Amino acid sequence: MTQKSANYEMLEKILLAAAADSGAAEAHGLLCGTVTAGGRSAPDLWLEHLLGAENTRSVAAEECRELLDGLQNDILGEFNDETLGFDALLPADSAPLPVRTRALAEWCEGFLYGLALGGVRQGAATTGMVDEVMKDFYDISHAGFVVEAPDEDDEVAYAEIVEYLRISVLLLYQELQAVPASSRLQ
């Protein structure tokens, strides 16, 4: 597997410097969603949604665009990798579980938003699998963490959800590449 253009901390720092409306997890989710949808949204549209329409011309915004363009290429390569090498860009396992859970929720929010920007609508001539994954991601996007002292079972549950997300995104990508754009946009 090739080296990614950025890691979570690097992307978070660049987005903060560019005064982005989103953090690293949500931004990566948004990019993954637009690529999954077939990448049919206008190239600048996702950048405007991340940075704000009036904030795309600064030096920091341009650095952010370059990094995100590289990440978008990484995502496309990972989605087409026969070894299923895709991973969501999330905080490291050493981060506290509540922080990772919130980032996972934000990643799902971004992904669903990216699908919408790409024209994918739940129930619009898509398969039941597409609708089911969108509903599950919606549920995950509302996840919170209520236990004060996470234990091993909580860690296992988190890892299982991340793996479900990873495989679901790859399956969704394959599924939506076979659906003509006009059918997804209804």
pLDDT value for 69: 84
* The two three-digit tokens of residue 25, written as one number: 């997890």
- For 31-77, write each residue's pLDDT tens digit: 999 999 886 556 667 777 887 777 767 788 888 888 888 888 889 88
Would you give the distance in Å from CA 151 to the centre of its chain? 27
Per the domain annotation, does 84 fall within a domain?
Answer: yes
Per the domain annotation, does 2 fall within a domain?
Answer: no
pLDDT value for 40: 58
CATH number assigned to the domain comprising residue 57 = 1.20.120.740
Which range marks the domain in which residue 174 is found? 8-184
Per the domain annotation, does 38 fall within a domain?
Answer: yes
Compute the distance between CA of residue 6 and CA of residue 10 in angstroms, rounded to an integer.
Answer: 6
Per the domain annotation, does 168 fall within a domain?
Answer: yes
Per the domain annotation, does 120 fall within a domain?
Answer: yes
- For 108-117, write each residue's pLDDT tens digit: 999 999 999 8
* The two three-digit tokens of residue 71, written as one number: 């990440």
- For 139-172, write each residue's pLDDT tens digit: 999 987 776 777 888 899 999 999 999 999 999 9
Per the domain annotation, does 1 fall within a domain?
Answer: no
Per the domain annotation, does 169 fall within a domain?
Answer: yes
Q: Write out the DSSP string of 55-67.
A: SSSSHHHHHHHHH
- For 81-107, write each residue's pLDDT tens digit: 888 889 999 999 999 999 999 999 999
Q: Which of 7-16, 52-61, 113-122 has the lowest mean pLDDT?
A: 52-61
Nearest to 24 by CA among 94, 140, 103: 103
Number of domains, the chain: 1
Nearest to 11 by CA among 50, 42, 46, 57: 50
